[in-house]
Amino acid sequence: MGTQNTSARTSSPSRKGAENHPRKRTRVGGVIHRNVRHTTRFTVVGNHLAQHHSLSLVAIGLSTHIQSLPAGSPVDIKTLAEKFPEGTTRIASGLRELEVYGYLLRTRERTEDGRIVTRTVSCNQPGRIGDDEDRAHPEPEAAPEPERRPQPQPEPQARRTEPRAEPQARRAEPRRRALPAVPQPAYPAPDLLVTALDVLAGLRREDPRLHLSATDAEHLVPGVAAWLERELTPDAVRRVLTFDLPREPLRRPAALLAHRLGAQLPPLPPFRAPGATPAVRHPFQTCDLCDLAYRAPEPGTCGSCTPET
């Protein structure tokens, strides 16, 4: 028989339980952070941007760079392309992605001398108003009230008990009605979403009443992308959305567009086998004998006419 080593440490059940606890396990191959606290020249970026599931890395990097710039810095496509190697095409696509998700607001304004300039607003947290605008437009201080002398209070039995009305400012504001649901694309590619945003931004040129906010456009972009997936051109989608609009003022143009995107969604295109060549469609030709139109690769006579010999 072998001798047992009585000096060896025996593992207790509590120790085994601590080793098998899921919180004590370390994941092999994961990132290890070595962070140093910044005291100067740093920018705070939210995880909703740094870990965004739909934005491309180009868009995330552009938004981080723009947020780090001081106010008044140029952020046009040409200036950014001179700083980074991505080129004008990828930078323009990234800026449009940031517009789709509300991280960037770009509007065109006309100056006093007649020039049209683009105003760019960077939002570090879309959907919320920053404190910079409040500091730029402070509210006027209220004038000190004149000193009032205390007046004798009436006797308790003489006071009238009346229902106390709620202040007008504390009443809850009516909630905005939600927009109708819109179709969702099967593959929401960034280029597809950018094209859909361009379609929505161009509707106000067809009818000024179709001016949409950034929040409304973000809700409608997937619906337009679902139409573009069904082999419709941007001009075709724009014509459907602006066709036969009511003459009265549009109180909720975004709701009207959302209804049309869902109610008039076209069917899916027919299935085409991979590698199948479409049927050849020859141009129209005019018959030399009967002047009727027919399709043929070259001019001549139609099938009903026989050329004279």
**CA 27/CA 42 separation, integer angstroms:** 30
Q: Which two structure tokens, joined as six digits, stand for 158? A: 């003489």
Question: How do strand 284-286 and strand 104-110 relate by DSSP bridges?
Answer: unpaired
Indicate the angle between helix axes 87-100 and 190-201, nearest 10 degrees.
70
Establish if 77 belongs to a structural domain: yes
Establish if 215 belongs to a structural domain: yes
What Rg, from alpha-carbon coordinates, does the chain have? 34
**CA 25/CA 88 separation, integer angstroms:** 46
pLDDT reported for residue 248 = 81
The beta-strand segments (E) located in the chain are 104-110, 116-122, 284-286, 293-295
pLDDT reported for residue 154 = 57
Residues composing the chain:
309
Q: Which of residues 112, 127, 142 is at a domain's end?
A: 127
Establish if 137 belongs to a structural domain: no
Residue range(s) defining the domain that contains residue 53 = 47-127
**Tens of pLDDT along 206-235?**
888 998 888 999 999 999 999 998 888 999
Q: Read off φ and ψ for residue 121, nearest 5 degrees.
A: -120, 125
Q: Which two structure tokens, joined as six digits, stand for 4? A: 């047992």
- What band does 270 get if pLDDT is binned at 50, 70 and 90? confident
Number of domains, the chain: 2
Establish if 106 belongs to a structural domain: yes
Establish if 152 belongs to a structural domain: no
Establish if 255 belongs to a structural domain: yes
- Range 133-138, long-range pairs (CB < 8 A, 24+ positions): none
Q: What is the CATH number of the domain that holds 96?
A: 1.10.10.10
59, pLDDT greater than 60: yes
pLDDT reported for residue 3 = 47
Establish if 33 belongs to a structural domain: no
Contact between 104 and 123 under an 8 Å Cβ cutoff? The reply is yes
**Tens of pLDDT along 101-137?**
989 988 888 888 888 888 888 998 887 755 554 444 4
Residue partners of 234: CB distance under 8 A and separation at least 6 = 195, 198, 199, 228
**CA 53/CA 39 separation, integer angstroms:** 30
pLDDT (average), residues 192-212:
90
Contact between 107 and 119 under an 8 Å Cβ cutoff? The reply is yes
Establish if 202 belongs to a structural domain: yes
196, pLDDT greater than 80: yes
Q: Which of residues 108, 127, 146 is at a domain's end?
A: 127
What SS3 state is found at 119?
strand
pLDDT reported for residue 23 = 54
**CA 265/CA 181 separation, integer angstroms:** 12
pLDDT reported for residue 135 = 45
Q: Which of residues 127, 143, 162 is at a domain's end?
A: 127
What SS3 state is found at 206?
helix
